[in-house]
Amino acid sequence: MTTLTIEVDDQFYQRLEARARAQHRTANDVARDILLGRETAPSLRTELTRSIYDLPPFSVGQVLKPFNSQDDLLEEMLHDRQF
């Protein structure tokens, strides 16, 4: 077997270690199973997901073309769950 070294962010590694502890395994064993497709990677999506409403307003420059009623698609995007 060949050794492979990878770099992951701290948050991902903490989740990997937590999963390994819960399964009474080493982080290396869990990572190997993830790489081989036997397991799914620990998701960070729940911690990284946030709303556009959480962001402070900021300027992106001058308006090039005024919006009209057909340009306002935010409401449709927020409620369209068909993707």
Give the tens place of pLDDT for each residue, 30-66. Answer: 888 888 888 777 664 555 566 777 778 888 888 777 7
Please state whether the predicted TM-score (pTM) of the whole model is above 0.75. no
Give the tens place of pLDDT for each residue, 10-38. Answer: 888 998 898 899 989 999 998 888 888 88
Work out the number of other CB atoms within 10 angstroms of the CB of residue 42.
17
Axis-axis angle for helices 27-35, 10-22 (nearest 10): 110
